[in-house]
């Protein structure tokens, strides 16, 4: 196989990084950052550095290359334990969990039928990389080691992992057990949402008191050199990490660091002895010294008002409603920029038509830095508006005046209509009364005339 020269490899990596289609990061790197990027020389075959908050990729080297993870596998085991268990739950270890690990591999001498809590198990996994404890957690959650491995792979895919397949809970070597730097960064990012994990991650020492099968206290010492002040690889801003090693995987390390500007996750795979630490330190220096995370808004924050127009009784009615962002928006930008350099473009129609349902997307917002889009989000309504005419909000004097005029016109129209109806009724009543009077006079006249005629005829008869 033809070897690629280091300079050409760096150029290809830089080109790949600059053209990567990642979550929201699209900022053009400054000349200084490009020079820092070029200066990174890693022992690892593959590596990645991401913003722990935004997920933006700050550095990448063969980030999708399949590698053996070794014991950093246990991060997924810990994640499933945090998602599915209470810290006070008790694990009872089976013979298979205890004796199925390779002789000489990491353990804390758990006995069959021994009981410890989930919390104690997670400290044993993270600090001492205990393989049999990982097996016990797997059986506790899914009943068998195989089912738990399937659970691990499924959960990894749900997080966005593209090239990961787990066949065990501890990372002992198997040709079908592999992952990538990118996929492990996603798993670590999800883990950092749990305060319990951050506490365990930053610990260098822990004690498990005597159990039902062990009369002595177990003393656990963390293996990550980055957080041990006495170590030559101590890194002040590092919050912890998980190491791994097998003959096939070589040295692997997932770690987390932060300062006042940014939080970063580093993953190095297939590195040399102690190379996992020197690689990680280079990545941390690059990320912490060149970038910062800027929070633009939170989900539910008010964006701006919008007009909703509906047909009223006499003319259109207008109501102003508030709109809201549908998600948290944070961006990663070079340290030399500020939030004032980010431009906001809000796109909402001038007039909206009802119905407006709760949560309906009525626009979007885009953010740019140096004319390049770095973030976007939908804008939603938190107001229910039906198809009926909308009352005008009394907070606006102009709208209130229009409303009063329209109401006055409506009442005036009703009054005129009432008068016309009343007049018609009165005319009809008068007409009926007049007809009744005429009929009565006619009947009286006929009665009188009939009496006169009858008297006249009677007189003639006797004449």
| Selected residue with higher pLDDT from 115 and 427 | 115
Is position 456 within any domain?
no
Q: Looking at the structure, do residues 66 and 107 belong to the same domain, yes or no?
A: yes
Q: Give the residue from 376, 391, 406 where a domain finishes.
A: 391
Q: Give residue 386's pLDDT.
A: 66
Q: Looking at the structure, do residues 253 and 313 belong to the same domain, yes or no?
A: no
Q: Which of 259, 258, 220, 226 is nearest to 241 (CA)?
A: 226
Q: Looking at the structure, do residues 120 and 15 belong to the same domain, yes or no?
A: yes
Is position 198 within any domain?
yes
Q: Rounded distance, CA 460 to CA 463, Å?
A: 5
Q: What is the mean pLDDT of residues 6-22?
A: 39
Q: Is 230 exposed, middle or buried (0-12, 13-18, 19+ CB in 10 A)?
A: exposed
Number of domains making up the chain: 3
The DSSP bridge pattern shows strands 115-117 and 90-92 to be antiparallel
Q: Give residue 140's pLDDT.
A: 98
Q: Which of 73, 95, 248 is nearest to 149 (CA)?
A: 73
Tell me the sheet residues that pair with 461: none
Q: Looking at the structure, do residues 268 and 358 belong to the same domain, yes or no?
A: no
Is position 362 within any domain?
yes
Q: Give residue 458's pLDDT.
A: 59
Q: What is the CATH number of the domain that holds 343?
A: 2.60.410.10
User: Which of 107-121, 311-325, 419-433 is predicted least confidently?
Assistant: 311-325
Is position 335 within any domain?
yes
Q: Give residue 389's pLDDT.
A: 41
Q: Which residue segment(s) compose the domain that 409 sits in?
A: 398-437
Q: Check pLDDT > 50 for residue 173.
A: yes
Q: Looking at the structure, do residues 378 and 230 belong to the same domain, yes or no?
A: no
Is position 183 within any domain?
yes
Q: Looking at the structure, do residues 275 and 352 belong to the same domain, yes or no?
A: no
The DSSP bridge pattern shows strands 329-334 and 343-347 to be unpaired
Q: Looking at the structure, do residues 91 and 155 belong to the same domain, yes or no?
A: yes
Is position 463 within any domain?
no
Q: Check pLDDT > 50 for residue 307.
A: yes
| Selected residue with higher pLDDT from 115 and 384 | 115
Q: Give the residue from 335, 366, 391 where a domain finishes.
A: 391
Q: Where are the beta strands (DSSP E) in 54-204?
A: 57-61, 90-92, 115-117
Q: Looking at the structure, do residues 305 and 268 belong to the same domain, yes or no?
A: no
Q: What is the mean pLDDT of residues 232-260?
A: 97
Cβ neighbours of 27 (radius 10 Å): 21
Q: Rounded distance, CA 288 to CA 335, Å?
A: 9
Average pLDDT along the chain: 85
Q: Looking at the structure, do residues 200 and 310 belong to the same domain, yes or no?
A: no
Contact, 47 vs 17, CB < 8 A?
no
Q: Looking at the structure, do residues 148 and 245 belong to the same domain, yes or no?
A: yes
Q: What is the CATH number of the domain that holds 192?
A: 3.40.710.10
Q: Looking at the structure, do residues 288 and 229 belong to the same domain, yes or no?
A: yes
Is position 127 within any domain?
yes
The tens digit of pLDDT for each residue in 16-49 reads: 443 333 333 456 788 889 999 999 999 999 999 9
Q: Give the residue from 371, 391, 411 where a domain finishes.
A: 391
- ∠ at Cα 367 (366, 368), nearest 5°? 125
The tens digit of pLDDT for each residue in 269-292 reads: 999 999 999 999 999 999 999 999
Tokens of 202: 């930053």
Q: Looking at the structure, do residues 36 and 61 belong to the same domain, yes or no?
A: yes
User: What confidence tier does 313 reach under pLDDT thresholds 50, 70, 90?
Assistant: very low
Q: Which residues contact 205 (CB under 8 A, 6 or more apart)?
A: 127, 219, 220, 221, 222
């Amino acid at each position: 196989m033809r070897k690629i020269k280091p300079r050409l490899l760096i150029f290809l990596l830089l080109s790949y990084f600059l053209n990567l289609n990642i979550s929201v990061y699209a900022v053009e790197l400054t000349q200084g950052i490009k020079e820092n990027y070029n200066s990174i020389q890693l022992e690892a075959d593959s590596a990645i550095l991401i913003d722990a908050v935004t997920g933006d990729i700050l550095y990448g080297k063969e980030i999708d290359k399949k590698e053996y993870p070794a014991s950093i596998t246990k991060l997924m085991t810990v994640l499933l334990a945090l998602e599915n268990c209470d810290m006070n739950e008790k694990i009872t270890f089976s013979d298979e969990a205890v004796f199925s690990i390779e002789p000489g591999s990491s353990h804390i001498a758990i006995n069959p039928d021994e009981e410890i809590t989930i919390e104690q198990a997670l400290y044993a996994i993270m600090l001492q990389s205990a393989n049999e404890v990982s097996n016990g957690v797997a059986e506790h959650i899914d009943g068998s080691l195989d089912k738990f491995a399937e659970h691990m792979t499924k959960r990894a895919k749900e997080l966005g992992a593209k090239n990961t397949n787990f066949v065990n809970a501890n990372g002992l070597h198997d040709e079908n057990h592999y992952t990538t730097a990118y996929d492990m960064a996603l798993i670590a990012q999800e883990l950092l949402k749990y305060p319990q994990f951050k506490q365990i991650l930053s610990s260098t020492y822990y004690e498990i008191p005597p159990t039902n099968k062990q009369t002595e206290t177990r003393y656990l010492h963390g293996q990550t050199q980055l957080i041990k002040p006495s170590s030559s690889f101590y890194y002040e801003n590092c919050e912890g990490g998980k190491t791994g090693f097998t003959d096939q995987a070589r040295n692997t390390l997932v770690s987390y660091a932060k300062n006042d500007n940014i939080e970063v996750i580093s993953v190095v795979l297939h590195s040399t002895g102690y190379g996992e630490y020197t690689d990680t330190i280079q990545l941390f220096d690059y990320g912490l010294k060149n970038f910062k995370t800027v929070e633009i808004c939170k989900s539910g924050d008010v964006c701006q008002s919008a007009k909703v127009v509906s047909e009223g009784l006499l003319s259109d009615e207008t109501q102003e409603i508030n709109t809201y962002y549908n998600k948290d928006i944070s961006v990663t930008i070079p340290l030399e920029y500020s939030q004032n350099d980010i431009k906001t473009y809000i796109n909402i129609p001038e007039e909206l038509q009802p119905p407006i349902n709760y949560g309906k997307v009525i626009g979007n917002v885009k953010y740019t830095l140096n004319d390049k889009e770095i973030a976007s989000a939908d804008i939603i309504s938190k107001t229910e508006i039906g198809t009926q005419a909308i009352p005008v909000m009394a907070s606006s004097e102009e709208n209130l005046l229009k409303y009063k005029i329209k109401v006055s016109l409506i009442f005036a129209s009703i009054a005129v209509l009432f008068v016309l109806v009343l007049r018609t009724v009165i005319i009809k009543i008068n007409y009926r009364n007049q007809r009744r009077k005429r009929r009565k006079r006619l009947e009286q006249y006929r009665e009188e005339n009939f009496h006169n005629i009858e008297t006249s005829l009677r007189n003639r008869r006797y004449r």
